[in-house]
Structure 1
């Protein structure tokens, strides 16, 4: 009888394990064999959204089988069945669509006017009300050493658009590790969660390109993707001789729906090299600055999928200089167009998670939608041990 019970348990355990398994895929460029970062992976069955990390890796737990949709603005999308993914990492190769980006679009309107209408239309099209379950992650590096880390699982309830924009934040879980130097202001740490969604949903980071003088400082150019006839790429780059800390922008948009799909910007090495070094007390010499947001349109809804921001600068102090780097990630793991119920005292009012007491109910980071790289995991383990 005992043998029968044990056998029955093993059969049941085997079936349960087979129905719920951890999957891992690595996305690579078919030509260069390099990893592909910021690819969006949608689990059709659960509607979970995932993002590939800098190693091209995406990990998730799935019960049963599901179709998996992989998309990236610079690659041809694919759909695969989860049953084709092995228990260990399965490498998926994507074909680049950027190689076919050779057709320049000539328009009667100046591209700046097109961009302005794209921003206006995108704001109108973004789904509101909306509930976004978001995973937030931040690394803080001081003088070359990563000394602080935080992440959290947040819910954003977005109620209005544009000038009347409003969002309420509820923090489900969070953790913060590390000791910050007394000379480092808390203002340097993390997203300002109170206005971050307003910036993303009103495309405020594109405001410098919409100013009248922008045409004197930037060159606007529009190109077409032959692999995706609906997608256009607008590049906005500082003209030769332009002065100041001006970014290079890439804006991918759906020319049929007139909505923005992706925005990325960075300050080029040549621009940074041309800046005059600041020496006054408290001034900052920026040596790295990049930004990227991805939006998704799924036939009925249009919403923010992810953002990534990195900044590095040297701060001039009294008798020394301090090197500071901040890297932030923001990933929407779940979306709904339904409101959720909450009490006013549950709403998160602070700017960052820095001063919030740790609330860890489950290993939420394992289903965050953004897999840790080996380097990131090592950093977190080290900071956590020394905390």
Structure 2
């Protein structure tokens, strides 16, 4: 493993102890696994994280552990990826947990839910706050073991064919939106649609949907949404810090030698920080380009954000009253959110506000 990449992995806080060469040398068993991505190959950031992971695993095992990455739909559709891993149809997936919230709303908490944690706090909760252990207790019921494998940072609020000036403008809007966010926006009159990334553009172009959220400027530009839905809103309050997970079949994971488990965890930690760094680096230029190309950048009206916040709390109250797994994980995130933003209010917010104010002054 290259020293630079290993240091990046360690910096994520998720890397385990450095591996001893003799331990790997003594592991004669070779592995060849397949991994299905939840994303199209064209998205080199979010899809590319799986390739970064596979390359690291191969390098750290001297070629003894090879993982072949397949784009969404090539062998398993995105909507079936987690189930395919849990039933051992395929060994691994790299996808968003909230895509499977229809099976159990608790899946949504593994990625992002409205008005919860930003990227740094999500990583802190997963790695230091016991979050990943809580998630894996839940995922084990579905035959899965998970490792954080990327974060996009706070996403955009999506692309709209018509301008949104108040909450009433959302009534009847057919919108591609994933996870519990769809249930929240439904309370505001939106008709949620869960559509894979590769199918969003034609749906917008044909008018099958009126709006769509995806990720942010870099990926959105690649998918060309601005050509058919010019109004670009921010922020994506339903995805403050969405985590993408590597899912491994639980039996396959438990059967791995400990040193190979450590390799996979190190490689996932590297992919986790690598994805966020790429988005933070590439989004500014892409945003400038989108606006120059005609995208109409707008903040959500305040009444939309306030109404969505109230609707989110209604949804959380409904789910915690009926789903014990959801309540356990949500309560942990909610408590951590309060503490995390206390700290951010003192340090991050104060510093960032000053810096942004100075930037606007030139």
With structure 1 as the length reference, what TM-score do the two structures score? 0.28
Structure showing greater relative contact order (alpha-carbon pairs closer than 8 Å, 6 or more residues apart):
2
Higher helix proportion (structure 1 or 2): 2
Indicate the structure (1 or 2) with the bigger Cα radius of gyration: 1
Instruction: Provide the TM-score with structure 2 as the length reference.
Output: 0.29
